[in-house]
Amino acid sequence: MPSDENYVKNTTSFGALGLIPLKSCEELGNKIDEYLVRWRANRDPDNYEEVTRQGYKLDSYIVSASVPRFGSGEAKGTLGQSIRGLDLFIMVDVTNYSLTYSLCGHVNHMSPDDHFADLKRIIAAVGGKARRITVIIPFLYESRQHRRTTRESLDCAIALNELCNMGVTNIITFDAHDPRVQNAIPLSGFETVQPSYQFIKGILNNVDDINISPEHLMIISPDEGATDRAVYLAGVLGVDMGMFYKRRDYSKIVGGRNPIVAHEFLGSSVEGKDVFIIDDMISSGESMIDVATELKKRKAERIFLLSTFGLFTNGLEKFDKAYEEGLIYRLVTTNLTYQTPDLLEREYYINCDMSKYIALIIDTLNHDCSISHLLNPYDRIKNFVAEYQKKQG
């Protein structure tokens, strides 16, 4: 089996590659571009067909694009170069609240709605001239409003249909809150990618004394919705898993959701074991801290919090306090969403860089090859754990 970056060797590309990371994804997009430039510079273009050789080796694959705003807050999408015939990949981070714009003289922070509108503006500026459009939206827009239970909007499904109606062929997201939302666009490409390998790699590269065995490690799902993630990770690592059931008060709504009354635990003993609590997102962090507290009551050893998206909507103070009190040992999230400088400076924080993984997906799709080997990291995790255990002796 060839290495991932050479998996596409001697295959024909679908079209010349173009990458548009919107300002919300600028840093991540630049890292991805560096990987693509380096890999393609080391490939022999004579092995490719003429169509593939044209524009295959460039100093950068980033297409010049911007979304300037008027004083009223209105905006427009503009492209700084031709995109005719490109296999275009557009990236946006809808959770990046650090960006601001002037609204009638007031400073306004960009909301997910603003970011999604900018994405549509760039797609509209493309005007159907690209050969194919793939949207990479790590935190799926409105993914928490993925189903209808009463008289309410179905925002995520509407957004997916909007993108497909505008000419988007593929939508790639990470750890969708509920993957079944893809049923809203059954005839279009939709992939939800899990960062399981990056989690394990990040933890094992930063902590050198983890005993990966059923007697010393356990994977915990903080609620029933995260069970699949915990089952997969426990299966790959060969350890046990447990889960918490959130008992809620459905007669009240606080902060847009039903308050949690209690966390009920289902699983074997965690006494003396290191514990990985895994979920798709940390919003306020209240639920994760509550689960960690319950596990400490059950005499768990070190507690690791793993989450694809660290939103930290209420700040980092409660995590600082939990770390100082010995409640949590490490906090692990990815760079798929905006990270504050304060977060990156925390000694208990482990940052999982996803840029190489996304670059591999883009490179493989541009060559019209299957990404199945990238979506299932089972062998990759097994090999990394085996190397880690060998170093431990």
Q: Is the pTM of this model over 0.85?
A: yes
Take residue 190 and report the two structure tokens written for it: 């939709």
One-letter amino acid of 25: C
**Predicted local distance difference test score (pLDDT) of residue 44:** 72
How confident is the model over 81-92, as pLDDT tens digits? 999 999 999 999
pLDDT-derived band at 48, boundaries 50, 70, 90: low
pLDDT-derived band at 1, boundaries 50, 70, 90: very low
Query: CA dist 83 to 15, 54, 167, 291, Å?
Result: 11, 14, 14, 49
How confident is the model over 155-170, as pLDDT tens digits? 999 999 999 999 999 9
What's phi and psi for 107, nearest 5 deg?
-80, 125
Beta pairing, strands 217-221 & 274-282: parallel
Q: How many CB atoms lie within 10 A of CB 327?
A: 17
**Predicted local distance difference test score (pLDDT) of residue 2:** 56
Q: CB under 8 Å to 261, separation ≥6 — which residues?
A: 247, 248, 249
56 pLDDT above the threshold of 90: no
**Predicted local distance difference test score (pLDDT) of residue 261:** 72
8 pLDDT above the threshold of 80: no
pLDDT-derived band at 5, boundaries 50, 70, 90: low
**Predicted local distance difference test score (pLDDT) of residue 47:** 61
**Predicted local distance difference test score (pLDDT) of residue 300:** 94
pLDDT-derived band at 245, boundaries 50, 70, 90: confident
pLDDT-derived band at 309, boundaries 50, 70, 90: very high
For the chain, percent helix, then strand, then coil, each to nearest 5? 35, 25, 40
Least confident residue range of 46-50, 95-99, 285-289, 318-322: 46-50
Give the dihedral sign, CA 178/348/323/326. Answer: positive
Q: How many CB atoms lie within 10 A of CB 324?
A: 10
How confident is the model over 179-195, as pLDDT tens digits? 999 999 999 999 999 99
4 pLDDT above the threshold of 80: no
